[in-house]
Amino acid sequence: MKKILLLLFLPLLLISCRFYEVDPGRLYRAPQPTEQDLEKYVSENGIKTVINLRGDGTGNSWYDNEERVLKKYNVKLVNIGMSAKRLPHKNDLIKLLDTFETAQRPILIHCRAGVDRTGEAAAIYEMLYMNKSKEEALEMLSPKFAHFEQFMPAKLYFFRDLWQGEDWARDKYDPCTQDYKFYDKNNENCTNTINGNKVEKIIGTESDT
């Protein structure tokens, strides 16, 4: 059934997964750009910061090409390893919030398809910097941008059931200690508490999804 739905919505996917202006002159979203597309985005829109939600992909052609273009134009690259299938790690969410707060504009955010992780980041930005309501911001995670909850439910769950603003995200959100859906505390980058001290525990490596 999911495959049938995907085929039905394929034309929308092809149209929606594109470069898009979220906040005029300040924030843009896109799927993974080619070298040529990235040069075009940077030169035509004056991009100063790129937030790559796929994480550090050193050694992969998509990442090495992106890094080379951005160095050429003196654009800052910020790597944050988000996933479309789970809730964000707390440290990754904090890094995203800090980057939005301090990064030079205009910003381009992207993941692989420019849909789920990118939509999540764009929705957060709209609420914090464009004074949009949660309902308005969730347009960034809608079929308009090829996001379908039945395929990737973690993102809308994060906003509808959990999100309570930036202070909550910084001070109270902690998927390693709370019983949230779409986060496996036994297999994620959680922290152990030893004698009152938090020690990072990294288990395995994640795929770029």
Question: Mean of the pLDDT values across residues 189-207?
Answer: 49
Q: What is the pLDDT of residue 208?
A: 78
Residue 61's domain comprises 16-200
Q: Report yes or no on 208 lying in a domain.
A: no
pLDDT band at 200; cut points 50, 70, 90: very low
Q: Report yes or no on 169 lying in a domain.
A: yes
Q: What is the pLDDT of residue 189?
A: 76
The total domain count for the chain is: 1
Is pLDDT of 174 > 60?
A: yes
Q: What whole-number distance in Å separates Cα of residue 142 and Cα of residue 145? A: 6
Q: Report yes or no on 1 lying in a domain.
A: no
Q: Report yes or no on 20 lying in a domain.
A: yes
Output the domain CATH number for residue 20.
3.90.190.10
Is pLDDT of 18 > 80?
A: yes
Q: What is the pLDDT of residue 2?
A: 47
Q: Report yes or no on 34 lying in a domain.
A: yes
Is pLDDT of 75 > 90?
A: yes
pLDDT band at 194; cut points 50, 70, 90: very low
User: Considering the entire predicted model, what is its pTM?
Assistant: 0.86
pLDDT in tens, 104-152: 999 999 999 999 999 999 999 999 999 999 999 999 999 999 999 989 9
Q: What whole-number distance in Å separates Cα of residue 171 and Cα of residue 189? A: 18
